[in-house]
A = this chain, B = another copy of it.
Amino acid sequence: MVNWSSFFFLVIPKRPARDLFDADEDSVAAVARMVQRVAVLLDSIFVPEGITILQSNKAAAGQDVFYYHVHVIPRLQDDKVSISYQVVEGLDLADVARRIRAADTNVI
């Protein structure tokens, strides 16, 4: 069986933007709709076992092409894509909650 995770699709907006912070909200919504269509098409053609949607902002997040783009990645059990998350000890969640409550909630 071919490991389909060895390729992926990218969806980009017509209006250039560096990342999610720089993109206008209509472009973000249009890209999301196209991501869904691409995922459905990809699923129907290649029948992967799952699909990962990934979008990286700034180098610390692994962004290496500084144009807003969304990855649509076909997945198989035990493929060569690895996404892991290690719990960090000592986070003060009460402080996190306090900061959110204290923020300018007009943003949301």
Which residues on A are within 8 Å of B, measured CB to CB? Answer: 2-3, 5-7, 20-21, 23, 25, 28-41, 43-46, 48-63, 70, 73, 75-77, 79-88, 91-93, 96, 99-100, 103-104, 107-108
Q: Which residues of B contact A21 (CB under 8 A)?
A: 39-40, 43
A103-B62 contact, Cβ under 8 Å, with A87-B6, A91-B2? no
Q: Which residues of B contact A23 (CB under 8 A)?
A: 36
Additional pairs, 11, CB under 8 Å, beyond known A23-B36, A28-B35:
A3-B91, A20-B35, A29-B30, A31-B32, A37-B107, A49-B61, A51-B61, A52-B55, A53-B55, A61-B75, A82-B86
Q: Which residues of B contact A20 (CB under 8 A)?
A: 35-36, 39, 51, 53
Q: A30 to B32: give the CA distance in the assembly, Å.
A: 9
The 9 listed contacts between A and B (C-beta, < 8 Å) are A7-B93, A7-B96, A28-B36, A46-B96, A52-B55, A53-B56, A60-B77, A61-B75, A81-B85
Cβ–Cβ contact B46 & A99, under 8 A = yes
